[in-house]
Structure 1
């Protein structure tokens, strides 16, 4: 098995390939565009979520999708065996939408060519997590505004570098934490922050069990499908044999590309928890329990997990695998409230009535005082609309990369320490300014935990 490309070599190659690109994009780099301008959008990654995001951008009159990019030409086998995605199906989706006016949508296999184009204003990144850093930084430095799907990053250090690039370039960014643009979620967070459950005592967040089973020890490689650039898909990750369950939707369960359901669903559930608390920085994490696939299996992320985040001036958050899949329970001195899929739930009828009255009231959001409260629960459409509005006004979105990085850390700290498979029940102290662990159950665990903050190196 060959060693992975270093981060430095991979980003260097990306920068070299994009060097012919613009320093700034065509129309939104200077000043404010007119209301009639349509934002030219290109989408990187045409898989399950890529199709969802593309449809949301197509439906918005403030933009025009001008290009798509994917290393896979076309195939079935994404979220399920029947889902047909990839570069050509993505282009067809766009072409069909614009069939009356003519599409003109380009399709590329190499994302670096998209970053180098002068006719693109904003880039939507919906690739596997391990590609987010290189693509986001290259797009920002080429002068593009960026919408990057959650979880923002594959590691803590990668997220920090992405935030620094956003700050350095001054571009508009949005993390795909779409529940921040969902009316029901905003009202729930506002209710909690207004003291609806009294003083918060604890929060439990829910993440989904794995929804796929991979091959166990002794698995054998599959032939690489025609039309799929597997080497490009691997990118900065280790060079390993192809298997159909390694890529597309199921990349989520391989730790070389993702943190599993902790970073997948945790990017939503932990986002709401941090939001309810006012986004305090963690000072420690306690890995509590986890189970993993048998050694030698293709999948390597946790199948069940539970960990606790501690804060200096806020109650703890416990993140755990739960059949509720997504959401959180906030326990306060006056009862508890839950938000997730379906209606909100409360510990008493009186608390439910108090929430209903609160939710019916008009006014600005406590969580986002400058935000116009979403008018419905079409969270993805609302989230895309917020990004496009800010591309035009140059205001800050509801989920810029800095907020995406904050939430990703709440996930990475759990995934990382649980993945050590030692020290369960023990406290790992965290310095949020340096973004380093400062204490662990042993010196060896401390050193390994810090190494895993940036395993591919700077």
Structure 2
């Protein structure tokens, strides 16, 4: 297990993400707390991203992490063998940070003991995608605010139900699309929306190739490790034999649990593309190319992907596997600009200088006070700070579940049509208001595409 961070290092990282002022939390529904009161947070899912999120919430003095929950007691084998995660390591991380002995934060293996629990104002959901819907809706309906990791949903219909639940309950709910809280991403989006590239002609979004290789045909079931509740991990997914490469970080490469790199990286790249065109909506999708694991392999999501979304404003957005791994290129009548996790670039030195010197009008694209010091915090710190600020003020965060659903939909439309046999090169018409395919190459493929919008049902 990596050494636990100390309080001094956490507080240093938190300096730019402090949220001051009185807090309005669930247990304070009928009263006004003092400035000393904190938002009580519980984290459900203590894996690779769960540890990152937990550290970020610990670093923010506006909240206190009061509980952790995971179906795994603790083991290695997450993103790499040395990464030791689970509920016991998660509890140790929290208790070491606060310098507590004894019980410290509570620890559970069943998420139902966290949702609705007294003294928990907000839950952080960092479990595999196929669990998101039921956990988030249960927490929202129990009166808790929710931070749910991206991609928001496992299917289009699940995302719709989650967004509807957030609207119905009026809770504060943030999707973990943290590139919306990246100063450079905000600069590019505002630059494009201010006409920096002229009229948009096309957008290309980048997603990473698979970074893990799973067992091929003939893989054999393995014994379930001690301390791991595999049945609970499967949850609503089909019952199937255990293999370590099915779970933990690698779940995202199996269609029963996730959509591969399309929904993983596309939840960021496609999010920025849609943000550049807030008035447009997808009107059609065309599956262009994909390569797949050999039949009978454990992994089942596409290894290399390419599909095109045609929007109502006439702009095509092509999402494709690329060595740049993440980002987008926006091409317009004045040239193109590109944003990746490493840098900005443009079609000419003059246009690149314009982009670099551009000062985002915070509020034009997004009301995001956490970006007032763009060099002071990481995008994840900014994103968590925005959520906690909105828990206090009851404002809408930068990535509400309605936006998370829309972005995930841009990914699901590609992954599900790529998965249709004989669907390559064929265009499916899409009604975004009804969230249904209205036309396709033939009635059989059209029916199958619509079935895949909600393959497990409500």
SS in 1 for 2:320: strand
- Corresponding residue SS for 1:274: helix
In the TM superposition, what whole-angstrom CA distance separates every residue of 1:213-246 from its partner, at most 9, and x where no partner exists?
0011111001100000000000000000000100
CA contact under 8 A between 1:77 and 1:84: conserved in structure 2?
yes
| Secondary structure at 1:245 match in 2 | helix
Query: Could you say which residue in structure 2 is the equivalent of 1:332?
Result: 332
Q: Could you say which residue in structure 1 is the equivalent of 2:143?
A: 143
Cα deviations by residue, 1:285-315 (Å, 9 ceiling, x for unpaired): 0111111111111000000000000111241
Are 2:364 and 1:366 equivalent residues in the alignment?
Answer: yes
Match for residue 209 of structure 1?
Answer: 209
Q: Kindly tell me: are residues 29 and 167 of structure 1, through their superposed partners in 2, closer, same or farther at Cα, counting changes over 3 Å?
A: farther
Query: RMSD in angstroms over aligned alpha carbons?
Result: 1.6
What residue in structure 2 maps to residue 285 of structure 1? 285
> With structure 1 as the length reference, what TM-score do the two structures score?
0.92
Cα 1:157–1:103, aligned 2, differ >3 Å: closer, same or farther?
same
The 2-side partners of 1:51 and 1:372 are apart by: 22
Structure 2 equivalent of residue 18 of structure 1: none
User: Any conservation in 2 of the 1:287–1:423 contact (CA below 8 Å)?
Assistant: yes
Residue 373 of structure 2 corresponds to which residue in structure 1? 375
User: TM (normalized to structure 2)?
Assistant: 0.92
1:186-225 equivalent positions in 2, closer than 5 A: 186-225=186-225
Cα distance change of structure 1 residues 193 and 158 upon mapping to structure 2, 3 Å threshold: same
- Distance (whole Å) between structure 1 residues aligned to residue 66 and residue 331 of structure 2: 47
Unaligned runs of 5+ in 1: 1-23
Is 1:416 matched with 2:416?
A: yes
CA shift, 1:30, in A, is 4.8
How far is 1:332 from its partner? 0.8
3-state SS of 1:396 partner: coil
CA offset digits 1:169-213 (Å, max 9, x no partner): 000000001011111111111111111111110000000000000
Q: Is the 8 A contact 1:190 1:365 kept in 2?
A: no
CA distance in 2, matches of 1:321, 1:236: 30
In the alignment of these two chains, the number of paired residues is 433
Distance 1:190 1:30, change over 3 A: farther
Q: Distance in 2 between matches of 1:113 and 1:332?
A: 52
Match of 1:16 in 2: none
Q: Compared with structure 1, are the counterparts of its residues 195 and 102 closer, same or farther at alpha carbon in structure 2 (3 Å cutoff)?
A: farther
Superimposed CA distance per residue, residues 39-80 of structure 1 (whole angstroms, 9 cap, x where no aligned partner): 000000000000000000000000000000000000000001
Instruction: Spell out, residue by residue over 1:351-407, the C-alpha distance to the aligned partner (whole angstroms, 9 max, x if none).
Output: 011112213xx7434211565634225100000000000001000000000000000
Q: 2:43 aligns to what SS in structure 1? A: strand
The 2-side partners of 1:416 and 1:271 are apart by 18
The answer as to 2:35 corresponding to 1:72 is: no
In the alignment, structure 2 segments of 5+ residues that lack a partner are: 1-23
SS at match of 1:50: helix
